[in-house]
Amino acid sequence: MMNLFRTFRVGISGPPGVGKSTFIEALGTFLCQKDFRVAVLAVDPSSARTGGSILGDVTRMDELTKHKNAFVRGSPSRGTLGGVTRSTTDAIALCETFGYNVILVETVGVGQSETMVEGMTDVFLLLSPPAGGDELQGIKKGIMELVDIIVVNKADGELLPIAKRAAADYKAALHFGTPKNPLWVPQVRICSARTKDNVAEVWKTMNQYWEQMEKEGVMESKRKSQRKAWMWRMVQEELVKRFERNPRVQSTLIEVQREVEEGRLTAGLAADLLMDSFGASQ
């Protein structure tokens, strides 16, 4: 059982309108009442491009925001994807240093943000609407290979049978592909964040995941390799930035790129030419 002396990093994603804020508020409040200290971070790489803020979204969590055990904030960063990554990984570390032990990292699901959040958390939850068939196309491609737990939300009233069918569809779809984690079969649950039905059940499933990973001793090794991977991704991004800023590269690039696009130069030769102009200026 996850306890107050450890930390648990939870990635949460889902399409717009699925009720992410309501779910996070319900789960977060439930955990605060159990004396966990809960931090909610929202990641929005799109703000890097649009300059937009998502604080409006997270401040909708009135009840949770007011709880003494909770800390709720939007993405602390503008700037490049690297900037968002860095400030988010740093924010997770800071929250843990300050004693928060359940870190809920929400992503609005733009671009590569799910992969990013999955790569910095212990467990990855997908929130799904109670829907079937074509409507499930709203679920982003490739996300099925990232999930550890799928939660079909809004499973109350008239939508309950539809939610149950969606859950069955997910279970069938999860049969495709080799498992992401050989120690864990992705689980599907239904809940209603609004009525709070089965929110405790979702937490129980998250705990089963936690216990399984702890039992196998892979929780800490996963975090180690995550940190190492981020270090290398940041190095790579910085190297490309330096390359693009190089004046000789810039003057070669326009023509080389056009020749490659037109098929008069292979990609490999073009890369050689660019590396030559970069090397010559060092």
Kindly state whether residue 234 participates in binding a copy of itself, applying the rule CB under 8 A: yes
Kindly state whether residue 217 participates in binding a copy of itself, applying the rule CB under 8 A: no
- Token couple for 113: 């943000």
Q: Which residues pair with 123 in a beta bridge?
A: 10
Contact with a copy of itself (CB under 8 A): which of 179, 250, 255, 280? 179
d(CA 131, CA 175): 19
Kindly state whether residue 251 participates in binding a copy of itself, applying the rule CB under 8 A: no
Site string for a copy of itself, 154-173 (x = CB under 8 A): ---------------x--xx
Site string for a copy of itself, 135-154 (x = CB under 8 A): -xxxxxxxxxx---------
Kindly state whether residue 230 participates in binding a copy of itself, applying the rule CB under 8 A: yes
- The C-alpha angle 73, 74, 75, rounded to 5 degrees, equals 125
Least Å from the CB of residue 33 to a copy of itself: 30
Contact with a copy of itself (CB under 8 A): which of 51, 245, 247, 282? 282
Contact with a copy of itself (CB under 8 A): which of 168, 183, 200, 240? 240
The long-range contacts involving 272-278, CB below 8 angstroms and separated by at least 24 positions, are 274/243, 274/249, 277/246, 277/248, 277/249, 277/251, 277/252, 278/243, 278/246, 278/248, 278/249
Which residue, 63 or 90, has its beta carbon nearer to a copy of itself? Answer: 90
User: Whose CA is closest to 127, among 55, 70, 136?
Assistant: 136
Contact with a copy of itself (CB under 8 A): which of 4, 50, 93, 255? 93
Which residue, 194 or 273, has its beta carbon nearer to a copy of itself? Answer: 273
C-beta separation of 194 from 42 below 8 A: no
- For the chain, first and last CA: distance in Å? 55
User: Whose CA is closest to 108, among 233, 211, 11?
Assistant: 11
Which residue, 4 or 231, has its beta carbon nearer to a copy of itself? Answer: 231
d(CA 266, CA 153): 49
How many chain residues are in contact with a copy of itself, going by CB under 8 A?
52
Q: Which residues pair with 189 in a beta bridge?
A: 151
Kindly state whether residue 254 participates in binding a copy of itself, applying the rule CB under 8 A: no
**Residues binding a copy of itself (CB under 8 A):** 86, 89-90, 93, 133-134, 136-145, 169, 172-173, 175-180, 223-224, 227-228, 230-231, 234-236, 238-240, 243, 256-257, 260-263, 266-268, 270-271, 274-275, 282
